[in-house]
Amino acid sequence: MAARGRAPRYGHPSAARTAGTGTGAPCPRSQERGAAAYYGPHDALLLARPRGSKPLRARHAGMRSFSARPRGITNSDFRPRGRSADWPPGASILARPVAVTTAERQGRGGAGPRRESENMSENLRSSKTTSKSPKTSAKKQKGDKAKQSSKGKRKQLDKKDEVDLSMERIGHPEIFPLVFTTKTQEIFNCRVDEDVTEENCFKLIKKEDIIQDLKTRAAISDFYPVKRVVLEYPGEELLVVFDANFQYGQNFYLVASEEAKENFLKPPDTAEEKEEKSEEEKEGTLDVHAYKRSVRKPWVSLGSEKEVEEESVKGYVTKIKYMFSRARRKFGAPIRFTDRNASHVKDSYVECTSYQDTTFSIKLLERDVGVQMVPKVKEASTQTKWTYPKNAATQYSPRQLSNEEMEESLSSEKLKEFLTSVHLRMEIALQQNEIMNAFFDDWKALAEDETSSGDKSDVYLKAYQSFTDPQYLKDRSISCVRWHPTIYGIIAESATQQHSDEERINLSDKLLLQDSVIIFWSFSDPIHPQLILQCPHDIYCFQFSPSDPNIIAGGCFNGQVVLWDISKHEERLQNAKSITVGVKKSVVNMDSASVLNLLESNDTSEPSYMEDDESVTEPPLVRYCATSSTEGSHKTVITDIHWLPDHFEVNRTGTTFENRAEICIQLVTCSPDCLILFWDIRVTKLPGKLSFEKEKNIFDMPPGVPDTFKHLALSWKPLIKINLCKSDTEMEYSPIKICLLEQHHHYKILDKAQSLNKPQALARENPYAKMSVPSNKPLKVLESISNNFFVGTKDGEIIYSDWKIKIDSDSGKPVSKKPSHKYIIHDEAVNTVQISPFFKDIVLSVGGWNFAIWKEGVTDGPILESSCTAQRYTTGHWSLTRPGVFFIGRDDGNIDIWDLLKKPHEPSHFQNISKSMITCISPWIASPKQQFLAVSDDSGVLHVLEICPILSQSSSNEQANVLDYFEREVKYLKNYEKYQEFQAKERTEKELETQMEKTSAATKQKTKRDGGARKCRL
Partner 1 sequence: MTELENYLFSGIPIRTTLDNSTTVQYAGLLCQLTMKARSTVRDIDPQNDLTFLRIRSKKHEIMVAPDKEYLLIVIQNPCE
What residues line the site for partner 1 (CB under 8 A)? Answer: 398-401, 406, 409-410, 414-415, 418-419, 421-422, 425-426, 429-430, 433, 437-439
Please say whether the beta carbons of 599 and 544 come within 8 A.
no
Nearest distance, CB of residue 442 and partner 1, angstroms: 12
Phi, psi of 911 (to 5 degrees): -150, 140
Taking the least distance from each CB to partner 1, the nearer of 339 and 404 is 404
> Of 418 and 747, which CB lies nearer to partner 1 in the complex structure?
418
Q: How many CB atoms lie under 10 A from the CB of residue 761?
A: 16
Dihedral sign of CA atoms 84, 85, 91, 94 in order:
positive
Three-class SS of residue 912?
A: strand
Instruction: Write down the least CB distance from residue 414 to partner 1, Å.
Output: 6
Which of 884, 885, 899, 897 shows the shortest CA–CA distance to 935? 897
Q: Amino acid letter at 578?
A: S
CA distance 516 to 505: 16
CB of 961 to partner 1, least distance (A): 19
- Nearest residue (CB) to partner 1, 351 versus 442: 442
- Pick the closer one to partner 1 by CB: 324 or 439: 439
CB 533 within 8 A of CB 565: no
Q: Which of 498, 555, 566 is nearest to 532 (CA)?
A: 566
The minimum distance between CB 1009 and partner 1, in angstroms, equals 48
Instruction: For the CB of residue 451, give the shortest distance to partner 1 in the complex, in Å.
Output: 23
Minimum separation from the CB atom of position 430 to partner 1 (A):
7
Which residue number, 2 or 429, has a Cβ lying nearer to partner 1? 429
**DSSP labels for 690-726?**
-HHHHHHHHHHSPTTS-GGGGGGTTTB--SEEEE-B-
Query: Judged by CB, which is closer to partner 1: 189, or 432?
Result: 432
- The amino acid present at 190, given as its one-letter code, is C
Nearer to partner 1, 131 or 421 (CB): 421
Q: Which is nearer to partner 1, 379 or 434 (CB)?
A: 434
Nearer to partner 1, 437 or 760 (CB): 437
Calpha distance 911→895 (Å, rounded): 5
Dist CA 294 CA 278 (whole Å): 12
DSSP strand pairing (531-535 vs 621-622) = parallel
- Asked whether the beta carbons of 223 and 178 are under 8 A apart, the reply is yes
Closer by beta carbon to partner 1, 395 or else 775: 395
Minimum gap (Å) between residue 444 Cβ and partner 1: 13
Closest CA to 166 of 244, 235, 259, 230: 230
List C-alpha distances in Å: 385 to 104, 388, 389: 86, 10, 13
Which lies closer to partner 1 via its Cβ, residue 406 or residue 1002?
Answer: 406
In contact, 607 and 507? CB cutoff 8 Å:
no
Please provide the distance, in angstroms rounded to a whole number, between the alpha carbons at the two ends of the chain: 165
Taking the complex as a whole, how short is the minimal distance between the CB of residue 427 and partner 1, in angstroms? 10
426/447 with CB nearer partner 1: 426
CB-wise, 25 or 428, nearer to partner 1?
428
| Shortest spacing between CB 957 and partner 1, in angstroms | 14
**How far apart are alpha carbons 545 and 567 in whole angstroms?**
12
DSSP 426-488: HHHHHHHHHHS-TT--HHHHHHHHHHHT--GGG--EEEEEEE--TTTSTTEEEEEEEE-SSST
Within 10 angstroms of residue 139's Cβ, the number of other Cβ atoms is 7
Q: Please say which residue, 179 or 445, places its beta carbon nearer to partner 1.
A: 445
Q: Nearest-CA neighbor of 130 among 94, 98, 87, 152?
A: 98
| Closest CB 449 distance from partner 1, rounded Å | 22
CA distance 639 to 22: 151
CB of 448 to partner 1, least distance (A): 19
Burial of 783 (0-12, 13-18, 19+ CB in 10 A): exposed
> Considering beta carbons, is residue 372 or 437 the nearer one to partner 1?
437
Read off the DSSP letter of residue 376: P
Q: Angle at Cα 369 formed by Cα 368 and Cα 372, nearest 5°?
A: 140
Tell me the C-alpha distance between 489 and 573, whole Å.
9
Q: How far is the CB of 447 from partner 1 (least distance, A)?
A: 18
Q: Which is nearer to partner 1, 426 or 583 (CB)?
A: 426
Cα–Cα distances in Å, from 622 out to 269, 536, 665? 133, 12, 21
b/e per residue, 703-718, with b = 16+ CB within 10 A? Answer: ebbbbbbebbbbbbbb
Closest CB 920 distance from partner 1, rounded Å = 44
In the complex, the smallest distance separating the C-beta of residue 394 from partner 1, rounded to whole angstroms, is: 15
CB of 404 to partner 1, least distance (A): 12
The least CB distance from residue 400 to partner 1, in Å, is 6
Please state, in angstroms and as integers, the Cα–Cα distance from residue 635 to each residue in 478, 497, 689, 734, following that order: 22, 18, 20, 12
Choice between 401 and 731, CB closer to partner 1:
401
**C-beta closer to partner 1: residue 417 or 658:** 417
- C-alpha–C-alpha distance, residues 182 and 672, integer Å: 183
d(CA 621, CA 582): 16
The letter for the amino acid at 179 is: V
H/E stretch holding 952: helix 949-952
**Nearest distance from residue 409's CB to partner 1, in Å?**
5
Closest distance of CB 393 from partner 1, Å: 17
328 alpha carbon, distance to own chain's centre: 77
